[in-house]
Amino acid sequence: NPIYAESDVIGIEDALMATMANHPNISLRRNELTTSNEALETAKWQKFPNVSLQTSSGQNSTTKSTMGIITSIRVEEPLWTGGRISGNIDSARAKTLAAEQSVIETEEDLLSKTSNAFFEISKLQKKLAVSDENVTEHKRLLELINHRARAEVSPMAEIFVVKARLNQAQTEYIQIQSAMATAKSNLEQLTALKFSGLKLPKFEPNLPDSEADAVKQSIEHSPVLRRLSAQIKASEADLEVAKSALYPQLSARVDDTSGSAAPGSIAYIALTYQPGNGLSVLSNKREAQSKIDAAESTRAAARLDLINTVRSDWVSYHMQISQIETLSNYYQTSKGVYESNLRQYTAGRKTWLEVLNAKKESTQAQYSLIDAESATFYYGFKLLIELGLLNSQNIQLVNK
């Protein structure tokens, strides 16, 4: 369970920085990176001499008398291993690179989730205010029609219509309130922060000039593709290790024995060939090649997914921008129509249903405008992350 820090009103940069500092998935990936670095250091030690010690108690086969403890020390320095040592080091180095990219990949995934949750809450906050105004206005309309009905100016049936619309508005308010509580809980889980409200950023994404440039930049930056490329290199190094079993190993040895019938030291060059059980060497080679083929296919699929995602986000971002002015004009027009209909109703030139429908249309137009404004922020931030322009190192710049 996260340790929650108390906060009042937070901005997008506060939320993003808190996620980077507190989320356990980032700690997990960093621990995996530390493990990979240790594995790389271990692989590098294979270049150094290996020392082994063996002790035993011997018996003279002629006299049947028990001899003392026989101690044998061997120092062995590998001279040529057919690519086994260099392959293990290359594999460990590639896996370390993959672990580094996995950290960045996890950070960017959480940055995207956090910004999405942040703008979802801000959208619902605005909608809640609109919904509250809608409920208040329907209550005012109910009082108006009640007054007219008591004066026998309007029929009683109109009271039932506005009550139904009021109930609908109240239900809508409760649904938005529930959705905002869920979104707030989600953001609190991501950031480990308690907050009462959000402050929206004053931020315009500095994106490339064209979709093609955006796609190119995202491919060059993508930690997913870099991680998969590193996994391919690791698989290629593992293939070299598998091939090395086909060749003998050459090493320099020094053996020193004491306590035996013929104590002393000897230095020599040893040629060792250990192909393994049966044809297991060939099976290991084929397995390593299959892993390379699978990793290359995975990278190709990931590259295609990235291109499709960036293109879709690019189109969505610019589409939302183009809609904002239109939706804003539509909202202002529908609001004016409602106010006009209400005035004309009292003069007998509009029906009560036309008034209620105009109010409903005005409210829905305002909801649509809020959706477009929130989506512009969301897709803008998502593109910044995908293009490598927003990361854990420059969060503080999002409001500059």
81, 244 Cβ separation under 8 angstroms: yes
Cα 374 to the center of its chain, rounded Å: 21
**Residue 374 gets which letter from DSSP?**
H
How many CB atoms neighbour CB 267 within 10 A?
10
Q: How far is it, in rounded angstroms, from Cα 276 to Cα 290?
A: 20
Q: How far is it, in rounded angstroms, from Cα 59 to Cα 272?
A: 29
Q: How far is it, in rounded angstroms, from Cα 215 to Cα 220?
A: 9
Q: How far is it, in rounded angstroms, from Cα 9 to Cα 22?
A: 18
DSSP 246-267: TS-EEEEEEEEEESSSS-EEEE
**Helix or strand holding residue 72 (H, E):** strand 66-80
The residues near 280 (Cβ < 8 Å, ≥ 6 apart) are none
Q: Please give the backbone phi and psi of residue 61, each rounded to the nearest 5 degrees, phi first.
A: -70, -20
Write down the pLDDT at residue 1. Answer: 43
Q: Please give the backbone phi and psi of residue 10, each rounded to the nearest 5 degrees, phi first.
A: -115, 155
Task: Supply the pTM of this predicted model.
Answer: 0.83
255, 266 Cβ separation under 8 angstroms: yes
pLDDT tens for the chain, residues 1 to 400 = 445 565 688 999 999 999 999 999 999 999 999 999 999 999 999 888 888 888 876 555 555 555 568 888 988 888 888 888 999 999 999 999 999 999 999 999 999 999 999 999 999 999 999 999 999 999 999 998 888 777 776 677 888 999 999 999 999 999 999 999 999 999 999 999 988 888 887 777 889 999 999 999 999 999 999 999 999 999 999 888 888 878 888 889 898 888 766 678 888 898 888 776 655 667 778 888 888 999 999 999 999 999 999 999 999 999 999 999 999 999 999 999 999 999 998 888 888 899 999 999 999 999 999 999 999 999 999 999 999 998 888 887 665 5
Q: Is 67 left (phi over 0), alpha (psi -120 to 50) or beta?
A: beta
DSSP 120-170: HHHHHHHHHHHHHHHHHHHHHHHHHHHHHHHTTSS-THHHHHHHHHHHHHH
**Helix or strand holding residue 85 (H, E):** helix 84-150
- Take residue 300 and report the two structure tokens written for it: 């190709």
pLDDT tens track for 211-260 = 999 999 999 999 999 999 999 999 999 888 888 878 888 889 898 888 76
CA atoms within 13 A of residue 398's CA, in its CB half-sphere:
26
pLDDT tens track for 69-106 = 888 898 888 888 888 899 999 999 999 999 999 999 99
